[in-house]
Amino acid sequence: MANHEHMKDQLVSLVLGELTEQQRSEVTAHTAECDQCRAELKQLERLLQSAGGRKGLSADESLLQSARNGLLAAVNSGESRIIARPDFRRAFEWRRIMLSPITKIAVAAVIAVAAGLLGISKLGDHKQSPRWALLAKACAGEEALFAGTEIIHIQNEIVVEPAGAEPSLPYAWLPMMSVKPDGSLRFNQLKMNLAPESYVVTDHSWYDPVTGRFTRVLKTGDAVVFGNSYDGRFIYDANVTPDGVTQVSKQALATGFKPPQSPAEYLGLAAGLTTALAKDDSMVQKVEEGTLADGEPAHIYTVGMPDPNGQLQGYFLFKVRDKDKTIAEKEFVLLGRTLLVIRRVLTERVEAPGVSWNLAEIEGTATIDQKVSVTADMIVQNVSVRHMVDRAKFETYVFSTKPAWTGAIEITDCIDPASMGGRMFIMTARAEDGRHLVLVQSPTYNMMLGQVVRAGHVVYTSPNGFKVWGGGPQKWFAQILLQSAQASIKDPPSEDRIGYVFESPAGTFPALAINGPVSDEELHKLVDSLMPAKDYLKAGETDSNKK
Amino acid sequence: MSDIRFEKLVNDHGRDVLNVALRVLGDPDTAKDVYQEVFLAIWRRWHSYDGTVNWGPYLYRVTVRKALELARARRPVAEAPEGCEPESPGSDPDAALRLQDLQKKLTESLAKLPKRQADVFVLSRIEGLDHSAIAETLCCSQNSVRVLLHRAVKHLARELSEYLR
C-alpha cells in the first residue's frame, strides 16, 4: 500500500518527464498492475495531450488583421476599457455599440469640428440670434478684459479629471494658440494624459494694452510645459525638449508684423472660439441657468454637434457669470464624461508681469512632466499639394482641374487625433453662389468610412476608378465636413447641403460635401477630374489646387 | 516614447500576443479582445514606460493573465474556432466531440486555478516553454516553477476527471 501511495505521487512526475530511467520503469511496472493508478495516469496523459493540442492553434492573417484594426479603432474612438467586465454579454453589447462606425465618426467629429471652430478668419458681419447673443456678449466681455491702460494678469486653471475605471480616451486635449513672428496665430495642441488622480495645469497670461506686449506660461506644478511671449521686438516660444528641459527660441518680427486683432483670440477662455461661434450659432445646442463652482449664478451654454441620432457625443459647456458677463468656466465632456474643466481663478491689474516679456529667463528650467505635452501646428492653413503629398501617409487625391463653379482651392493640413499621428487634409473652395466645396482626406475616414458607406448606395462609377457613394447619413456627414472647413468657407452649412463619399482605386475614402445642390453632370465632372496628388505633381501642372 | 514606437510594438509582438491568447482561450473572438485589452492597457500608460521594458516576457505574462481574467469573466462560449487552425482530433466524430468538450472545460478550469499555477501551466504545457524560460518570464526560481506545475496538473486532473475518462 505504501508503494501504491508512493507510485501514485510519482504519476505527475512521470507525465511531466521528470523521472530517471529507473524510476520510470518502476512506476510503469506498477501501473501495469494497479487499475487505479493506470486510470489516473491515462487521465493525466489525456490532460496534457489536450493542453498540448492547443499548441497547434495559431491566428491566421485575417484574424490578426481584424484584431489589429479593432485595436486601432479602439485607440481612435477612445474606447479604451470596455472588455474586462463581469457581465460579458453586456460588455460585448457595449463593444458592438462602440464599434458602430457612426459613433466613432461622431466622436472623431468632435475633433474635426474643432478644426472649424478654430477659424482664423476675422469676425465678420453676422446676424445674431437671441440664443447666441448672451454668449456673444460674454466673448465681448472677454475682449474687454484686455482693454485699459494697466497690465492685466489672468490666471486660469485646467483641471484634468481622473481617468476613472473606464477612461474614454488615453488623453484629453485643448487647442492652444500662440503668436508667430508674422503676427498670425499658430494652432497648437495641448495634450494632457488622463491619470488615476486629477491634476491641474495653470495658465498665466500678462498683457500690456498700451504696448501690445504679452507673455504666457503654462505649468504643471513648477514644471513649465509651454510659453509664448512678445516683448516689442521678438517673439519667444518656450518648449520642452524630450529630456525635460525648457528651450526658448527667439525670433525677430517679420516685416509688417501686426499682432492679432484682439488678445482674446490667443489669450483667455474664449481664445479661438469666438470668431467661429459668431459665424455659426447652430453649434449652441441649449442654454440653461446654473451656478458656478463658487456658487454665483451663471448661464450655461452647451456647444457641440449632435450625431444623426441626436446624441451629443462630445461638447463644450461655457459657463458665463451673470454678474459681469464673462466666461468663468469651460468644460469638455466626451461620451458623458467630463474630461477637462477650465476655470478662471484670477484677473488682476498689475504693474509688471510675473514672468518677463522676454521668456529667456525660464530657459533651462528643469521641467520633467510626462503627463502634459504640446504638439505644434495642430492646424496649418493654405498648404501646397507638395506639402500634402509629403506629409500624408496614404494616397491623396486632387482635382486636376478646378471646378468651373468654384473659386480657388485651398488645402488645410490639420492633426487627425483620432489616428495615431496621422494628418487630415481639408480641401476647400468657396463658390459665388454659396455652393462651397469641401473634400476631406484623413486616416480616420479611410479606416471608418468603408463601413458607413454601405448604409447608402453607389450613385456613380467614374472611368478613373472612383466609386461615389450617396445616401445613408450623408447630410449629417456633410454638416461635419462643412463645419470642419468653417475657417475657409465662412458660411454655415445650408439646409440643402449634400455629401458623398468617394471610394478611391487605392481603397481610401475621401469625403465630399457641397453646401447646396449639385447636378449629376457637375458631380461627374468633379469626380472624373480626381487624380493622385503625386501624379499631379509629376505632371508638372500648375498648382491649381492651391491657387 | 512616440506613437510610431507603439505601432512598432504592436507590429513586432501582436502576432505572439494573439496566438498566446488564442491558445489559452481556444476562442478567436475573445482572443481578439485580449489582444486589444493588452495593448490598450499599454497605450494608456505609454508615457510612463521608460524604454527599458523587456517586452517579450512582459507581454507573455500580461497576455496569459488577461486571457484567464476574461475566461473567468465570460460565460462558456467557445465553439469550433474560426479564423484559426485547430489540431485535427482525427476522424472519430465522438472523439472529436469529447475533445471539444474537454477543450472548453480546460479553459474554464484554468481560469479557476490560482493565478501562479495557471501561468506556469499555460507557459509550460500550452506554450511549450522550458522551466528556465518560465522562471525568467515570471521572475521566480525554477524550483518554484516545478512545484507550481505539479500542483496545477493535479488540480486540473481533479477538476476535469469527468471529462478525462
What is the predicted pLDDT for the residue at A161?
Answer: 86
Binary contact (B40, A68; C-beta < 8 A) = no
Least confident of A101-115, A287-301, A309-323, A368-382: A101-115
- CA gap A243, A223 in Å, rounded: 13
User: Average pLDDT in the A402-424 region?
Assistant: 80
Name the pLDDT band for A76 (thresholds 50, 70, 90): low
For residue A11, the enclosing domain spans 2-49
A543 inside domain = no
Which of A56, A80, A421 has the CB atom closest to B44's CB atom?
A: A80
Highest mean pLDDT pick, A185-194, A349-358, A440-449: A349-358
Determine the distance in angstroms separating the CA of B126 from the nearest CA of chain A, rounded to an integer: 5
What is the predicted pLDDT for the residue at A490?
Answer: 67
Taken in order B40, B139, B20, B1, is the CA torsion positive or negative? positive
pLDDT (tens digit per residue) in A505-522: 888 889 888 888 889 999
A297 inside domain = yes
Name the pLDDT band for A483 (thresholds 50, 70, 90): low
Binary contact (A67, B10; C-beta < 8 A) = no
Name the pLDDT band for A51 (thresholds 50, 70, 90): confident
Residue A171 near residue B43 (C-beta atoms within 8 A): no
User: Average pLDDT in the A219-223 region?
Assistant: 82
Residue A299 near residue A284 (C-beta atoms within 8 A): no
Q: Are residues A250 and A168 in the same domain?
A: yes
pLDDT > 90: what percent of chain A? 18
Which superfamily, per CATH, for B3-79+92-164? PhyR, sigma-like (SL) domain (1.20.140.160)
Nearest residue on chain A to B3, alpha-carbon basis: A420
What is the predicted pLDDT for the residue at A535?
Answer: 92
Q: Which residue has the cell 528650467?
A: A365
What is the predicted pLDDT for the residue at A375?
Answer: 76
Binary contact (B31, A59; C-beta < 8 A) = yes
How far are the Cα atoms of A180, B66, B88 from residue B40, in angstroms, in the given order? 37, 12, 34
Q: Are residues A421 and A531 in the same domain?
A: yes
A468 inside domain = yes
Count of structural domains, chain A: 3
Q: Are residues A328 and A427 in the same domain?
A: no
Binary contact (B23, A81; C-beta < 8 A) = no
Q: Are residues A211 and A270 in the same domain?
A: yes
- CA gap B155, A151 in Å, rounded: 76
User: Average pLDDT in the B19-41 region?
Assistant: 87
The residue that leads in pLDDT, B98 or A464, is: A464
Binary contact (A48, B153; C-beta < 8 A) = yes
Q: Are residues A415 and A516 in the same domain?
A: yes
Domain boundaries, chain B: 3-79+92-164
Which among B3, B35, B82, B159 is the top mutation candidate for probing chain A, defined by the most A β-carbons within 10 Å of its own β-carbon?
Answer: B35
Residue ending a domain, choose from A330, A350, A376: A376
Nearest residue on chain A to B25, alpha-carbon basis: A54
The residue that leads in pLDDT, A282 or A347, is: A347
Residues of B in contact with A42 (CB under 8 A): 164
User: Average pLDDT in the B33-54 region?
Assistant: 80
Q: Are residues A222 and A369 in the same domain?
A: yes
- CA gap A401, A416 in Å, rounded: 27
| Mean confidence (pLDDT) of chain A | 77
Nearest residue on chain B to A373, alpha-carbon basis: B47
User: Average pLDDT in the A380-389 region?
Assistant: 89
- The pTM for the full model equals 0.53
Q: Which residue has the cell 495559431?
A: A58
Residues of B in contact with A47 (CB under 8 A): 106, 153, 156-157, 160, 164
Name the pLDDT band for A388 (thresholds 50, 70, 90): very high
Binary contact (A64, B37; C-beta < 8 A) = no
Nearest residue on chain A to B7, alpha-carbon basis: A420
Name the pLDDT band for B29 (thresholds 50, 70, 90): confident
DSSP A430-489: --TTS--EEEEE-HHHHHHHHHHGGGSEEEEE-TTS-EEEESTTHHHHHHHHHHHTHHHH
* Residue A29 phi, psi dihedral angles, 5° rounding: -65, -40
A87 inside domain = no
The residue that leads in pLDDT, A2 or A457, is: A457
Least confident of A91-105, A147-161, A397-411: A91-105
Residue A163 near residue A102 (C-beta atoms within 8 A): no
A172 pLDDT exceeds 80? no
Which of A43, A53, A86 has the CB atom closest to B73's CB atom?
A: A86
Nearest residue on chain B to A73, alpha-carbon basis: B36
Residue ending a domain, choose from A333, A357, A376: A376
Cβ-Cβ pairs closer than 8 A, A with B, add up to 158
A148 inside domain = yes
What is the predicted pLDDT for the residue at A489?
Answer: 65
A544 inside domain = no
Binary contact (B126, A52; C-beta < 8 A) = yes
A258 inside domain = yes
Q: Are residues A346 and A491 in the same domain?
A: no
Name the pLDDT band for B80 (thresholds 50, 70, 90): very low
pLDDT (tens digit per residue) in A115-142: 444 433 323 333 444 455 566 666 777 7
Name the pLDDT band for A153 (thresholds 50, 70, 90): very high
Q: Are residues A277 and A403 in the same domain?
A: no
- CA gap B133, B128 in Å, rounded: 10
User: Average pLDDT in the B90-112 region?
Assistant: 71
pLDDT > 70: what percent of chain A? 74
B6 pLDDT exceeds 50? yes
Residue ending a domain, choose from A309, A342, A376: A376
User: Average pLDDT in the A208-218 region?
Assistant: 92
Q: Write the secondary structure of A35-73 as one string of H (helix), E (strand) and C (coil).
A: HHHHHHHHHHHHHHHHHHHHHHCCECHHHHHHHHHHHHH
Which of A60, A74, A80 has the CB atom closest to B84's CB atom?
A: A60
- What's the Rg (C-alpha) of chain A? 30
Kindly report each contact of residues A295-301 with a partner whose C-beta sits within 8 Å and lies 24 or more positions away, as own/partner. Answer: A296/A321, A296/A322, A296/A323, A296/A328, A297/A321, A297/A322, A297/A323, A298/A322, A298/A328, A298/A329, A299/A134, A301/A134, A301/A135
Angle (CA) A90 A93 A97, round 5°: 140
Give the cell for residue B13: 509582438
Q: Coil, strand or helix: which one is B54?
A: coil
A184 pLDDT exceeds 60? yes
ipTM: 0.83
